[in-house]
Amino acid sequence: MNILTARKVRKTYGKRFTAVEVLKGIDLEVSKGEFVGIMGPSGSGKTTLLNVLCSIDHVTEGIVEINGQILQEMKERQLAAFRRDALGFIFQDYNLLDTLTVKENILLPLAIKKIPHKAAEQRFQALVKILRIEDIIAKYPNEISGGQKQRTSAARALITNPSIVFADEPTGALDSKSAAALLKNMEQINREHHVTIMMVTHDAVAASFCSRVLFLKDGALYTELYKGDKTRQEFFQQILSTQSVLGGDGYDD
């Protein structure tokens, strides 16, 4: 079952003589429970694609459908409610509130939705155990490491039981150990709880945790790789080979 469908998606910035077409008619489908990576050289349109798929930005042409809802048919207030109720977001810069504890940051989306305390606490306890942050829940963001901040951000994104989680370079600001820990957590949540994840990354190691990787080039879908029965190391090597064909030096954005 497809949880996300995009048809003939185009995105253009500017008008007339200054117009730049960043996305050039992209079609894609994402099934429930997939862990999909989006890769491509600098300027290929991968972050723009993620932004229009999750309704942070608007398409110029085409449609994006999530859970049977066509985003282009929603008004701004409906879109805001849809993002709150159905989507989860993990960004490179964490977006945590410094005046709230880790626990308060994680529970904030449920407080906004007025979820009963008992149900909220059950979700919270389950997530902090998976993400291994039980020992920092009373601390504030300025008292924890970058890896702990990103796992807190992941818990906040997941606690609403979203239909799909969008992650934009979630390991970009982390050291290799913290990045590996977060990716293993995301892979576990995807595998055991069937949470659908779409992740933009420039890192072949991060992409090797995905079940499928889409490659963009010049605003169009260039190719895609499926992990299938491959080991993570085998998939990593396949991703590296595709990067080299596209131009590996361009993956530093």
pLDDT of 15: 87
What residue type is assigned to position 68 of the chain? G
Buried b (16+ CB within 10 A) or exposed e, 206-234: bbbbbbbbbbbbebebbeebebeeeeeee
% of the chain exceeding 70 in pLDDT: 98
pLDDT at 252: 47
Of 217, 213, 189, which is closest to residue 203 (Cα–Cα)?
A: 213
Instruction: Give residue 72's pLDDT band: very low, low, confident or very high (50, 70, 90).
Output: very high
134-180 pLDDT, tens per residue? 999 999 999 999 999 999 999 999 999 999 999 999 998 899 999 99
Residue 238: pLDDT band with limits 50, 70, 90: very high
Q: Which of 246, 242, 244 is nearest to 217 (CA)?
A: 246
Angle among Cα 241, 172, 57 to the nearest 5 degrees reads 95
- Burial code (b: 16+ CB inside 10 Å, e: under 16) for 38-64 equals bbbbeebbbbbbbbbbbbbbebeebeb
Residue 114 has pLDDT above 70, yes or no: yes
What is the spatial distance between Cα 59 and Cα 10, in angstroms, rounded to a whole number? 6
pLDDT at 251 over 60: no
Q: Nearest Cα to 213, choosing from 241, 194, 185?
A: 241
Per-residue pLDDT at 16? 82
Distance between CA 68 and CA 153 in Å, rounded?
27
Distances, alpha carbon 180 to alpha carbons 5, 100, 177, in Å: 30, 26, 5
pLDDT tens-digit profile of 203-230?
999 999 999 999 999 999 999 999 999 9
Q: According to the model, what pLDDT value does residue 163 have?
A: 92
Residue 66 CA to residue 98 CA, distance in Å, equals 32
Residue 153 contacts residue 94 (beta carbons within 8 Å): yes
CA distances from 235 to 48, 50, 226 (A): 25, 23, 8
Model-level pTM? Answer: 0.91
Query: Average pLDDT, stretch 4-31?
Result: 95
What's the confidence (pLDDT) of residue 253?
44
Q: What is the pLDDT of residue 226?
A: 97
Q: Is 60 helix (H, G, I), strand (E, B) or coil?
A: coil
